[in-house]
């Protein structure tokens, strides 16, 4: 049984993870069914999944407290991997900017 406090703590990460799953499935379906929509769907998926990974990893550290960032627990690995992935594959803001430019929503 979870307490009300921990349930509230996990509502944002759970929503982020569900949104990431939906975005990833949308990109997979676009690759299979409508290749012309793949570039846009992939940009959405990259942005949403990267942000969700960072949110969930950060909340995991918060939930576990001091031990979450030590070698005694694996949470620090996910936290570091989430931020490393953002650097390697591009930050969510960069993917959103590319998506906005592709939709003609930028002023330059």
Contact 60, 12 (CB under 8 A): no
Give the pLDDT band of residue 13 (cuts 50, 70, 90). confident
The reported pLDDT for the residue numbered 5 is: 60
Residue with token string 């995991």: 60
Helix locations, the chain, DSSP H: 4-9, 11-33, 38-64, 75-89, 92-102
**Percent of the chain having pLDDT more than 90?**
28
Q: Kindly report the average pLDDT of the chain as a whole number.
A: 84
Per residue in 67-101, pLDDT (tens digit) is 767 777 788 888 888 888 888 888 888 888 888 88
Task: Identify the architecture of domain 4-102 in CATH.
Answer: Up-down Bundle (1.20)
Instruction: Compare 69 and 27 and report the one with higher pLDDT.
Output: 27
| Per-residue pLDDT at 21 exceeds 90 | yes
The reported pLDDT for the residue numbered 6 is: 61
Q: Quote the pTM value.
A: 0.78
**Percent of the chain having pLDDT more than 70?**
89
Q: What is the DSSP letter of 36?
A: G
End-to-end alpha-carbon separation of the chain, Å?
A: 53
| Domain locations in the chain as residue ranges | 4-102
| Per-residue pLDDT at 1 exceeds 50 | no
């Amino acid at each position: 049984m979870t307490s009300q406090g921990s349930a509230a703590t996990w509502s944002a990460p759970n929503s982020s993870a569900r949104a990431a799953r939906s975005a990833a499935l949308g990109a997979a379906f676009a690759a299979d069914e409508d290749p012309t929509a793949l570039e846009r769907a992939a940009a959405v998926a990259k942005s949403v999944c990267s942000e969700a990974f960072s949110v969930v990893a950060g909340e995991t550290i918060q939930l576990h407290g001091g031990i979450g960032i030590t070698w005694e627990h694996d949470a620090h690995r996910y936290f570091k991997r989430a931020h490393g992935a953002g650097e390697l594959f591009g930050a969510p803001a960069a993917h959103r900017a590319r998506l906005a430019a592709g939709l003609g929503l930028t002023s330059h």
